[in-house]
Chains A and B, each alone.
Chain A
Amino acid sequence: MESASEESPGLVPTDLDTTEGADVTNDSSELTADIGEDQEEGSSENVEGEEEELSPDAEALKVELAKIVVHSPAIEKKEEKFDPAEFPDSYKNNLPKELLILQYSDNFRRQYVHLYRDRKPLFLNPVNECGVEKFVCTTINPTQLPYKELYDWDTAAEFVADYLDFETLDPPYELPTRLLSPTTVLKRQKGNCFEYSTLLCSFLLSAGYDAYVVNGYATKETCLADETREICPLLQKKEQKVEEAKKKELKKYTVKPPRDLQSKFELKMEQRKIAAKEAEEAKRRQEEIERQLELEKPPPDPLYGLRIHAWILVLSGKREVAESFFIEPFTGLPYPVDSTNYLGIESVWNNTNYWVNMQDCSNGVQGLSYDLGDCTRWEYMFPGLDKPLLQIPETEDDLMAGLDDEEDEDKEVERHLDMPPTWVEPLKLSLKDFQMRCPLGKKSKLYKRAKLQKFAHYLMPDGLISRLSVYDDRELTDLMLIKEYYDHRQDKLHTKIHNHRTGWISEHFYPGRHRCLKEHQYKASAPAPENERTMIFYNEARVDGLKKRIETPSEMTEHFVNRDDFMFYKHVDFGKRQKKFGPQEGSGSGNTRPINKMVQKFHRNKSKLANEDIAELVFLISEDKIQISYHTEDARIVSSTREYIKPSNWEEKGATLKWESDQLHQTFQVDADIKNKKQVEIYQMMLNLLKCEDVCRERVRESEDEVREILNDRSKEDTESELEIGVYDTDRNEKAKTHRKELERLQLEEKMRKQEMEIDYLAPFLAQIGDPEKVLRNQAFKLKEDCLNDLKQRLIDKANLIQARFEKETQELQKKQAWYQQNQVNMPKENEEDYLNYCSDAMFRIHILEVRLNRHKEMAPTKYMTLEQKLRADPRLAEYF
């Protein structure tokens, strides 16, 4: 950075007058020769000067010393070698036009060095993987790939950051000498910041963004992609929408609040006290934060401002980009153009042009203008090629005038100044590689107090795609929280959060599960049923409208939404399990927790009177009581209540329940005037309530069962964890794959059969006469004759064969018969049976052979005829028949 700042004052205003924007390139052709000569002369002189003053002894010593040669152990620069054979010609050679451009850029560089001796060299013509110099602008090849993620800058940047492994520059303060083509980078999945940027820029340009590669200086953290001081983007709290507390509208007739009789003074004093306390607290907190920040500050970097880096600049205008911004290729994150991570800019380029920054970078990149058409700020390389969008009208006039003047002289030069086509092959990326995302499908990153591991889809057998571990300290030893994200799981699990501090695990599911579970929170230490847990459901999909179930060992609370019976809340208190003596009845249902109390709450049902509409229903089972409180009428503040004590014999089935109203029923009615209910109604209500209680109890048991079943399912799923594969994923969907293969196989068979059908019956005979190009007449006749004879022979042979078999069978049968005749008398029954079986079999075979022979006899002449006809029709012989 400092290098840029030092020379900048002299640079900007005078040397490069706006009018002479085009001059640099123009003059340079004359200048180049001089510079070159100067340099050569200077160097040769120096060498001579040193050698002059040596004495003969010294000369000898020198010779002696020269013998001792110390080879510094060559630190093998792991410069990967590439086999040039792998690459197409454009990688190995330069077209004439490219050569011209190289010359031109070399020229530009020399002038630049001449004019601005203090500035760092420009990154213009690095060699490619084949050792050929290539101009950086032509290394960018905008290629659109058929993946929609690459169409938007954020996902494209994320992809590049994920897909490649980064290499640092060596040394970090010098430009690399080599720039690999994006195709090679994609293949290697490795690259330095320049290669990253070139690749990303190729993607962005193809997607229509106004993107540039920026060469400049950045902080150590940025250059090394060290994010350990950044908060993980997944952890960044979304800005809480501060909902403005709706101010109570002061309407015309709003009642006046009751007079406040508290002392204003006292209040004030109180407030003052509180404010002081708060201020103190805030101050303390602020200090704490500052201390923390101080602690986290990176150690001072000796190379601060010298570290070379390359990143992406996206200018506003295209693709609805409202504001220009940077993209850091290593992380794929956007930064504002005044980010403190970047310390200076030397040059920017894309596939159309190359601009050198002429602005002062002593303040980092703050305040830089990115109006690339303004040639006081940005020195371009190719005039007239791109967008000289200078926004100040006067200077534009000047510029135009200047250009006009030069135009005639420049003409010849300018004609060569358009950019040659890129030498890089179109980028290729297979779907599989694209889906693997990271090299080998895995990548892990460190953030401030967090570690993020990414996995390719389908890579992990349990469907894990990323795992975020959050730590309490910077050394990443004190684990606080693990968040795991899954995809394609058959059990629809998508997020699992294990909080190591509280020991709670919460699992989140997509909709579509059996029982519609949405979220499940439980303690890792107690996953069994009847422990503390919370289950949240997709209530829209459930018949009972259950939204949430919260459990503790002795309680269960359920929340409902949108039920027809208006119930929204149910709470159950369980008692201690009683130790059972005696024989066990059943396995599961026998030993349930006794219920002490059940509470149901209902919303207001507008179709009923408030006094009849139950708001809260409490079954005090342990006390044999039922308590009802009704809803409050609109104009009332108290509600009616009712209390039943269950008759003593309520548990006997089928027994008539005796009714003594005074003892069993108590009520309080808000409206004293209202007529009391009749005893019958009250009695029937009680019967109803008893039924309700039964139903309610049953529901509780069902809920318990459900919890148990869900937990069973969960544990099963956890051990199996099969992944779901989309119907359209032809690669992974085994069923679809086998189906496709089957289809392909069938197709192939069909093809084979067709080929077989078209077997050339003439071929062997043609081969006998040496496959002549044209068949002569007599040859043709002979061919036909041979062919037919051959067939005749074969038919006869076949007939003979069948006959022979027939005879053999008959003979054998006769032999057997004879043998049977002889031994018939003293033959055991089994043998006889065997014999009979054999006879029937043999007869069957003989019969078949007979039929076959007959058919063959029938068919043979027709076969013969067809062949003859075919031969007549054969194009090779046709002319003679």
Chain B
Amino acid sequence: MSRLYDTVEPSVIDEDMLQRAVEEQGPKEEAGKLAKAEGIDFNDVTNLRLDFKNILKIDNLWEFTNLVKLQLDNNIIEKIEGMELLVNLVWLDLSFNNIEVIEGLGTLTKLQDLTVYNNRISRIENMDNLKDLQVLSIGNNQLTELENLVYLRKFKKLKTLNATGNPFCENVETYKQYVVAYLSHLEFLDYRLIDEQSKVAAKEIYAMPIDEIIHNEEAEERKQKENEIKQKELQIHTKAYVEYLDGSSLFDSMYAEDSDGQRLNEMPGVDELLAGFKEKFLGVCQKIFEYGLSENEKRQAEVNQFWECVEEAKTENKEAGMKIIGTFFEERKRVLAELGTITDNQVIDDKIEAYQSQINELWDKLMSLELQLVDQLEDVIKDFERNMQEMVSTFLENVKAHLTQCRDLENMHHERMMEISIVTLEKVIKNELDDEITEELRMLFVDKDTIIGAVSSSHDLHLLKIDNKEDDIETRIKNWLSAMMEKIRNEEEIKRNRVRVVEINHQIDHFKEEIDNLDFLQGP
């Protein structure tokens, strides 16, 4: 159905066209008049139809961010583009165009119905993000490989597929069986219900390859789940500031940049020493890890409790406020009804005055309620902060104590290393160890100063790593605490209070205005 370019002038999506389309398709009659008078904002439009317009290029649609349904059929579009911002799109019709490649749909995650019927597409691809896809019409295209349809297994919600009229449909029976077998979620193929019988028959034919695919998919899924779980655990650990401390990562990192140390470990007799050292070191690390997790839980519980209580207080306060307003509404109704029946101006004035004083009273009540809540929250937040600070500092103290143990272990290890290295040095000097040590190690045993220097520098490096870890934990947890407290102060204390005060004033103003207007109306 592609039209030739030279016969028809291609048009461009410009403001004029859009404006016209929107107005045409917008509200009618009285509403239409109103809309015209007011103007229609493009980002309010939900449905847009741009068919039979000879559009060559999709463009200028970025304003229609709330668009749900877009029809661009029967144009001469060659490339899917310019739709990145239409994230709310559910229904997209691009049929009868000259599209060759499926692309540019990555952001349209809400898309359910996609029609690219009668185009020049040769491959189904680039649709990974369309998780909600339910209907796909890709008939009359240039699809040649049946295998390409396996790609559609991704879309678990896909119920309807229309793919007839493609080269691979030459052998209709094979095509149908293939689709039915591989896309088992499908309910309608080429606008016909797939019956149970043909499903079973098709499955039998392709049992083997499908089983394999299913197996692979399951394995993939499992892997993904495992990964997710791991990721989650790591998140928790990071939150507890003890990530990787249940393994040997700290220990490994100590030696990672320490080439001298690695070399020194090759000295005879170090193996056992190192093994013992590592075991003890890891034991301490494990302790830190466990302690960290338990502390994290405690902190979390504390935070949860705090929020629970705050929410409770807020709802209580809200209920109290609503009750006051509710009773006032009753009163208002009564007063307004009363005013309607009275004709004597003097009485009306009195009534209005009384009513106004009631409004003021209401304001007083609501404001005092709000102030009360502010006070309450302030106290509680203070308490909470104090407790949290205490908690954090105990946590840090304990972690530091554990890390000190690590340092002690390192110190001990260092001393032993020193001894061994000196002994080894002597042996080297006496040439007793000719074959047992590598050339690189031998380089260190030039003289006593060198070897001692190497050992101490290795030691210093190790201590530095431990210090770094300590600093890291400390700064992170402190940052967390201050950020949280900051947020609580801002959100709960200041922002909430502002909003509430504005709200109360607004309502009161409204009441006052109302009575004034009424007064004005009644006056003359």
Whether A637 and B503, one on each chain, are in contact in the complex, defined by CB atoms closer than 8 angstroms, is yes
Which of A370-378, A678-686, A771-779, A862-870 lies at the interface with chain B?
A: A678-686
Within the assembled complex, what's the spacing in Å between the Cα atoms of A84 and B387?
A: 96
Residues in A neighbouring B312, C-beta threshold 8 A: 254-255
Whether B321 and A637, one on each chain, are in contact in the complex, defined by CB atoms closer than 8 angstroms, is yes
Which of A493-501, A655-663, A749-757, A761-769 lies at the interface with chain B?
A: A655-663
Residues in B neighbouring A670, C-beta threshold 8 A: 503, 506-507
Residues in B neighbouring A678, C-beta threshold 8 A: 35, 38, 44
Q: Can you name 5 A-B residue pairings with CB atoms under 8 Å?
A: A252-B387, A255-B309, A657-B30, A678-B38, A680-B40
Whether A256 and B376, one on each chain, are in contact in the complex, defined by CB atoms closer than 8 angstroms, is yes
- Measured between C-beta atoms, what is the minimum distance from B333 to chain A in Å? 11
Task: For A632, give the chain B residue with the smallest CB separation.
Answer: B322
Whether A255 and B380, one on each chain, are in contact in the complex, defined by CB atoms closer than 8 angstroms, is yes
Contact of A637 among B34, B310, B366 (CB under 8 A): B366
Whether A680 and B31, one on each chain, are in contact in the complex, defined by CB atoms closer than 8 angstroms, is yes
Within the assembled complex, what's the spacing in Å between the Cα atoms of A558 and B507?
A: 32
Whether B384 and A253, one on each chain, are in contact in the complex, defined by CB atoms closer than 8 angstroms, is yes
Question: Contacts A635-B496, A657-B30, A683-B31: A251 and B380 contacting too (C-beta < 8 A)?
Answer: no
CB contact list, A627-641 vs B, under 8 A: 632, 635-638
Within the assembled complex, what's the spacing in Å between the Cα atoms of A637 and B377?
A: 18
Whether B325 and A638, one on each chain, are in contact in the complex, defined by CB atoms closer than 8 angstroms, is yes
Is residue B193 contacting chain A, with contact meaning CB distance below 8 A?
A: no
Residues in A neighbouring B309, C-beta threshold 8 A: 251-255
Within the assembled complex, what's the spacing in Å between the Cα atoms of A115 and B496?
A: 95
Residues in B neighbouring A582, C-beta threshold 8 A: none
Is residue B305 contacting chain A, with contact meaning CB distance below 8 A?
A: yes
Task: For A258, give the chain B residue with the smallest CB separation.
Answer: B372
- Measured between C-beta atoms, what is the minimum distance from A709 to chain B in Å? 37
Residues in A neighbouring B34, C-beta threshold 8 A: 659, 679-680, 683
Most chain B beta carbons < 10 A, residue from A636, A638, A668, A683: A638
Within the assembled complex, what's the spacing in Å between the Cα atoms of A729 and B448?
A: 109
Residue interface mask B31-60, A partner, CB < 8 A = 1: 100110110100010000000000000000
Within the assembled complex, what's the spacing in Å between the Cα atoms of A656 and B27?
A: 13
Residues in A neighbouring B214, C-beta threshold 8 A: none
Whether B305 and A251, one on each chain, are in contact in the complex, defined by CB atoms closer than 8 angstroms, is yes
Within the assembled complex, what's the spacing in Å between the Cα atoms of A226 and B506?
A: 74
Residues in A neighbouring B376, C-beta threshold 8 A: 255-256, 258
Whether B30 and A679, one on each chain, are in contact in the complex, defined by CB atoms closer than 8 angstroms, is no
CB contact list, A608-636 vs B, under 8 A: 632, 635-636
Residues in B neighbouring A235, C-beta threshold 8 A: none
Contact of B313 among A255, A637, A671, A687 (CB under 8 A): A255
CB contact list, B310-335 vs A, under 8 A: 310, 312-314, 318, 321-322, 325
Q: Is the interface of B mostly helix, strand, loop or mixed?
A: helix
Within the assembled complex, what's the spacing in Å between the Cα atoms of A14 and B147?
A: 106
Task: For A657, give the chain B residue with the smallest CB separation.
Answer: B30
Whether B31 and A684, one on each chain, are in contact in the complex, defined by CB atoms closer than 8 angstroms, is yes
Whether A251 and B38, one on each chain, are in contact in the complex, defined by CB atoms closer than 8 angstroms, is no
Residues in B neighbouring A672, C-beta threshold 8 A: 502, 506
Q: Is the interface of A mostly helix, strand, loop or mixed?
A: loop
Contact of A656 among B30, B322, B379, B387 (CB under 8 A): B30
Task: For A681, give the chain B residue with the smallest CB separation.
Answer: B44
Whether B372 and A659, one on each chain, are in contact in the complex, defined by CB atoms closer than 8 angstroms, is no
The 5 A-B pairs of least Cβ separation, nearest first, read A637-B321, A255-B376, A253-B309, A255-B313, A680-B35
Is residue B157 contacting chain A, with contact meaning CB distance below 8 A?
A: no
Residues in A neighbouring B496, C-beta threshold 8 A: 635
- Measured between C-beta atoms, what is the minimum distance from A611 to chain B in Å? 12
Whether A638 and B503, one on each chain, are in contact in the complex, defined by CB atoms closer than 8 angstroms, is yes
Contact of A680 among B27, B383, B503 (CB under 8 A): B27
Within the assembled complex, what's the spacing in Å between the Cα atoms of A255 and B309?
A: 7
Is residue B275 contacting chain A, with contact meaning CB distance below 8 A?
A: no
Most chain A beta carbons < 10 A, residue from B29, B31, B40, B312: B31
Within the assembled complex, what's the spacing in Å between the Cα atoms of A757 and B306?
A: 97
Question: Contacts A637-B321, A637-B322, A637-B503: A253 and B30 contacting too (C-beta < 8 A)?
Answer: no
Chain B residues in contact with chain A, CB under 8 A? Answer: 27, 29-31, 34-35, 37-38, 40, 44, 302, 305-306, 308-310, 312-314, 318, 321-322, 325, 366, 372-373, 376-377, 379-380, 383-384, 387, 496, 499-500, 502-504, 506-507, 510
Residues in A neighbouring B504, C-beta threshold 8 A: 637-638
Contact of A253 among B29, B37, B383, B500 (CB under 8 A): B383
Whether B503 and A636, one on each chain, are in contact in the complex, defined by CB atoms closer than 8 angstroms, is yes
Within the assembled complex, what's the spacing in Å between the Cα atoms of A627 and B29?
A: 25
Residues in B neighbouring A659, C-beta threshold 8 A: 30, 34
Whether A683 and B510, one on each chain, are in contact in the complex, defined by CB atoms closer than 8 angstroms, is no
Whether B30 and A637, one on each chain, are in contact in the complex, defined by CB atoms closer than 8 angstroms, is no
Task: For B317, give the chain A residue with the smallest CB separation.
Answer: A637
CB contact list, A500-536 vs B, under 8 A: none
Residues in A neighbouring B27, C-beta threshold 8 A: 680, 684
- Measured between C-beta atoms, what is the minimum distance from B518 to chain A in Å? 12
Contact of B30 among A252, A254, A258, A683 (CB under 8 A): A683
Residues in A neighbouring B314, C-beta threshold 8 A: 635
Within the assembled complex, what's the spacing in Å between the Cα atoms of A680 and B44?
A: 11
- Measured between C-beta atoms, what is the minimum distance from B21 to chain A in Å? 17
CB contact list, A253-279 vs B, under 8 A: 253-256, 258
Within the assembled complex, what's the spacing in Å between the Cα atoms of A254 and B307?
A: 10
Residue interface mask A639-683, B partner, CB < 8 A = 1: 000000000000000001111000000001011100000111001
- Measured between C-beta atoms, what is the minimum distance from B42 to chain A in Å? 13
- Measured between C-beta atoms, what is the minimum distance from B326 to chain A in Å? 10
* Given A255-B376, A258-B372, 20 further pairs, Cβ under 8 A: A251-B305, A252-B383, A252-B387, A253-B306, A253-B310, A253-B380, A254-B312, A255-B309, A255-B380, A635-B500, A637-B321, A637-B366, A638-B503, A671-B503, A678-B38, A679-B35, A680-B34, A680-B35, A680-B38, A683-B30
Residues in A neighbouring B302, C-beta threshold 8 A: 252
Within the assembled complex, what's the spacing in Å between the Cα atoms of A413 and B459?
A: 103
Within the assembled complex, what's the spacing in Å between the Cα atoms of A185 and B340?
A: 84
Residues in A neighbouring B500, C-beta threshold 8 A: 635, 637
- Measured between C-beta atoms, what is the minimum distance from A422 to chain B in Å? 67
- Measured between C-beta atoms, what is the minimum distance from A677 to chain B in Å? 11
Question: Contacts A251-B305, A680-B38: A656 and B507 contacting too (C-beta < 8 A)?
Answer: no
Within the assembled complex, what's the spacing in Å between the Cα atoms of A657 and B34?
A: 12
Question: Contacts A635-B496, A656-B29: A668 and B366 contacting too (C-beta < 8 A)?
Answer: no
Within the assembled complex, what's the spacing in Å between the Cα atoms of A636 and B308?
A: 18
CB contact list, A429-461 vs B, under 8 A: none
